[in-house]
Amino acid sequence: MTPPTATAPGEAAIVPAMTTGAAAIRGLPIEFTGLSKHFGSVVAVDDLAFTVEPGRVTGFLGPNGSGKTTTLRMLLGLVAPSSGQATIGGRYYRDIPNPTGLVGAVLEATSFHPSRRARTHLRMVARAGGHDEARADVVLDLVGLTADAKRKVGGFSMGMRQRLELATALIGDPDVLILDEPSNGLDPQGIAWLREFMRFLAGEGRTVLVSSHLLSEMAQTIDNAVIISHGQLKAQGSLESITAGISQTSMHARSPEADRLCAVLTAADMRFRRLAPDVVAVDGVTPEQLGPLLASHQIVLYELTNEGADLEAIFLELTSGLGFNEVEKPT
């Protein structure tokens, strides 16, 4: 794999241009069929069925507690399903010989030994998976940690640990990447680097499945979206197809009286999102509905625009408003 040109940790990396449509499919489809998981009387995942295709970045989206992590853990054989199945290339993860050579995963923060150096950690992971220890230096370069190879992990920032997590998942040069909230701890430049890196991996034909609550970031990253709530599938497909299936629009109001505007919207039982100190998005209303309301309360407006449904508005519509606090708000 030709790596992106990585700069110092925390800085954005430049990814080489890729020819669209030319990359051979080296990944495998991930399939969920009738997948359910009950923890006593609690239904964490309920008859979930969808497919993740190779050569694309698929976003797995849902409010906290919607069943995303449980689903991924069932896929990796860490949790036994109550019914249904989750397979990679038609096989259960447990039946894949030398699985780290096919599947790389980042599900939760690894308890790195604080006194162990980054290169040493990766060499141990390579050895345990039956891979060449030289892969340690390859993946350090891929994630931009070459200069920190000899540093003890205990001195790493959260963002650097996230990069080391990703390097660990890549140690076997896998065809399938499963990432749970991989941008946690990354600064804006690191998030931009991760976005381009995932696009690069998918461009090589790999299968990339990533869960995240950073909806505005996912809108710039993913090809397909899978949205779940209460463990049930709410929507799947390309962003364009999902957007086309939602008739909702979003009115964006810019006002020096944004606080009073929010109070008026609350009293009118209208769903809204605070996008900036002076910008409020009002979902599911038309100009004919919103305009007279604001005029009747003499709200000063600098701008009122009618926007198409964005990923955040779609997410809130499909999940009945759940997860509002998890939505990433632009600054």
Q: Which residue has the tokens 């800085």?
A: 11
Could you tell me if residue 200 is inside a domain? yes
Same domain, 303 and 197: no
Considering only residues 312 and 20, tell me which one the structure prediction assigns the higher pLDDT. Answer: 312
The answer to whether 45 and 31 are in contact (CB under 8 A) is no
* The token pair that represents 260 in the structure block: 């009073």
Same domain, 194 and 283: no
Could you tell me if residue 8 is inside a domain? no
The answer to whether 252 and 305 are in contact (CB under 8 A) is yes
Could you tell me if residue 168 is inside a domain? yes
Calpha distance 176→103 (Å, rounded): 5
Calpha distance 311→259 (Å, rounded): 24
Could you tell me if residue 70 is inside a domain? yes
Question: Which of 243, 262, 287 represents a domain boundary (last residue)?
Answer: 243
pLDDT at 149 over 90: yes
Calpha distance 16→154 (Å, rounded): 32
Q: Which residue has the tokens 């497909």?
A: 237
Query: Could you tell me the CA-to-CA distances from 5 to 99, 174, 259 in Å, in that order?
Result: 28, 20, 45
pLDDT of residue 328: 33
Residue-wise pLDDT tens digits, 104-116: 999 876 678 899 9
Same domain, 160 and 299: no
Could you tell me if residue 2 is inside a domain? no
Residue-wise pLDDT tens digits, 94-141: 999 999 999 999 987 667 889 999 999 999 999 999 999 999 999 999
Could you tell me if residue 327 is inside a domain? no
What is the domain count for the chain?
2
The answer to whether 59 and 225 are in contact (CB under 8 A) is yes
Same domain, 256 and 119: no
Could you tell me if residue 4 is inside a domain? no
Same domain, 120 and 229: yes
Neighbours of 290 (CB within 10 A): 18
- Per the DSSP assignment, residues forming a β-bridge with 224 are 58, 238
The answer to whether 89 and 175 are in contact (CB under 8 A) is no
Among residues 245, 174, 198, which one has the least CA distance to residue 57?
A: 198
> Which contacts (CB < 8 Å, 24+ apart) does range 90-98 have?
90/31, 98/129, 98/130, 98/172
Band (12; pLDDT cuts 50, 70, 90)? very low
Same domain, 174 and 231: yes
Same domain, 239 and 204: yes
Neighbours of 82 (CB within 10 A): 15
The answer to whether 306 and 295 are in contact (CB under 8 A) is no
Same domain, 237 and 299: no
Query: Phi and psi for 102 in degrees, rounded to 5?
Result: -120, -35
Mean pLDDT over all residues of the chain?
84
pLDDT of residue 318: 67
pLDDT at 184 over 70: yes
Question: Which of 228, 243, 258 represents a domain boundary (last residue)?
Answer: 243
Same domain, 221 and 280: no
pLDDT at 323 over 50: no
Non-local (6+) Cβ contacts of 221 within 8 A are 57, 59, 195, 198, 199, 210
* The token pair that represents 107 in the structure block: 């599900």
* Per-residue exposure over 60-80, b if at least 16 CB sit within 10 Å of its own CB, e if not: bbbbeebbbbbbbbbbbeebe
* The token pair that represents 321 in the structure block: 């408003």
The answer to whether 233 and 48 are in contact (CB under 8 A) is yes
Could you tell me if residue 154 is inside a domain? yes
Non-local (6+) Cβ contacts of 267 within 8 A are none
Q: Which residue has the tokens 């710039």?
A: 220
Same domain, 227 and 142: yes
Same domain, 288 and 179: no
The answer to whether 252 and 308 are in contact (CB under 8 A) is no
> Residue 297 sits in a domain of what CATH number?
3.30.70.1150
Mean pLDDT of 325-331: 32
Residue-wise pLDDT tens digits, 42-57: 999 999 999 999 999 9
Its domain, for residue 270, covers 249-308
pLDDT at 309 over 80: no
Strand boundaries in the chain, DSSP class E = 30-39, 42-52, 57-61, 83-88, 103-106, 176-180, 207-211, 224-229, 232-238, 249-254, 272-276, 279-283, 303-308
> Residue 181 sits in a domain of what CATH number?
3.40.50.300
pLDDT of residue 207: 97
Neighbours of 152 (CB within 10 A): 16
Same domain, 147 and 91: yes
